[in-house]
Structure formats: C-alpha cells, structure tokens
Amino acid sequence: MVLAVDMGNTQTALGLFDGEELIHSWRMPTDRTFTKDEINVRLQGYFRMYGRDLSCVDAIAFAGVVPQLTREWEGVAKQLGSAFLAIGRDTAAVTSVKADNPLEVGADRIANAVAAATFYGSPSIVVDFGTATNIDVVDDSGSYIGGAIAPGIRISMDALVARAAQLASVPMEAPGCVIGSNTIEAVQNGIVVGTACMAEGLVRRIKAELGTPDACVIATGGLASIVAQSTDAFDVVDPLLTLRGICEINRRMQQQ
C-alpha cells in the first residue's frame, strides 16, 4: 500500500491507497516543530482508528512545501522500512512541466496537473482552495503550463478579522443570498462568494487564452465544496485530487 502525503502550509492531507483505490484519508495540522517520532505517533493513531497497522505501508509518496518537514517524513519512511518518494526534481521523468522555472513549481501543483490530465482529460483547469487559492492549467498535451496564485480563503478571513476591530470570525459557509442582511452574511458574501467570483473570472480568462472553452474545470482542496455552492464554474468537485495525483506519480515511477 502507498501512503500519499499532501503537506500544505496549514494542513497535511493523508491518503492510504491500495493500488489506485483510496482506502482511507485523514487530515492533520502542518506543524513545523513536528519530529519524525511525533509524526509516527500520529500516524499510528490514525491507522488504529480503522484497525490497521503502519506495517502495511510499502511506500510514502510525498508532496510538500516545508523542507524541514520533508526530512522528517523521510525519517518516518526509514522507521517503517518503507520506500520514500518526494515529488519534484526526482520525479521529473514522469511529469511534464512547461513553466519558465520548472523547479519552482510546487509539488502539489504538479500532482494536481497529473491527476487532472489522468482522470479528467486535457486541457483542464484545477482550482485548489488551500492556504493559497491556486489555479493550475493543463494544456492539451497534458502538461502543466502555469496558472495563478491568490490569497486563500482563511488567510483573507484572518486578515479581515485582525484589521477590522468590530468584525468577529464568522462560520465559513456560503450564504443564501448575495445581499447580506447582517454582518455575518455580508462577510460570508465577501469571502466565499467573492472567492467564487474571482475563480469564475480567472477561469473564463484562462479558457479564452487557451482557446478551449470546453476545458474541464476541477475544484479541489478543503474548502472546495463550500465555494462550489456559490458558482457553476466547476465541472467537478474532487477534494482528494492532489492525493490521487501523488499516487499516480508514484505508480509511474515504479514503472520506470
């Protein structure tokens, strides 16, 4: 079995795959102080929830943005006697990145592009709602060619609450109407519906630039299902797209 790890700046998503089938998934905080031993203990707890043991993990396939934690996860793999694969330079042979500086492209964006092309076809556009809102574009050859990066929903919310003294944190929900009749609805409109409108506008312009109005648009990330309630810009909502891309890259590497 393969444990796919999508480590963002705020949260880390985990997926246990048996072949191409996702068996279980979890989320944990991304804490830069975690050691390999602390990560190991957390993993043991997650696996016990489903009556499983870490000894079933043959490989850890990893996409992450915090270098010091990459080393700790590699240490976890060594403790388990499992293979370790970090998406990036070492996996370039099985991915296609047509960006100005391929080594600067985040591992999660590469995984998104691979998953989009593999499971939904190309050209395609991925809108990933994480710490940042990333838009990843895949051309008709299945290659990642670029995209856009914007502040994420929670970053925007935290900044708003921190700078506006009379605004308290509100539930991250899609309101029922665009004209908020109270402060909570007004903030939800600005944050959730505003993010949906930004995605709509960028997707529309990207389709026009690509000359492919029928490109598949996939929403992913922890908040994708919430934003999707406020827009019809997405053809698919796949919260686990990145994990599936990580698993697919690992599969390709095994065939090298």
Cβ(105)–Cβ(46) below 8 Å: no
Gap between the Cα atoms of 85 and 93, Å rounded: 13
176 contacts: CB under 8 Å, gap ≥ 6: none
The rounded Cα 131 to chain-centroid distance in angstroms is: 9
Among residues 6, 18, 108, 140, the one annotated as catalytic is: 108
Torsion over CA: 164, 12, 242, 113 (sign): positive
100 is catalytic: no
* Residue from 206, 199, 190, 208 nearest 232 by CA: 199
Cβ-in-10-Å burial (0-12, 13-18, 19+) of 67 comes to exposed
Q: Tell me the catalytic residues.
A: 108
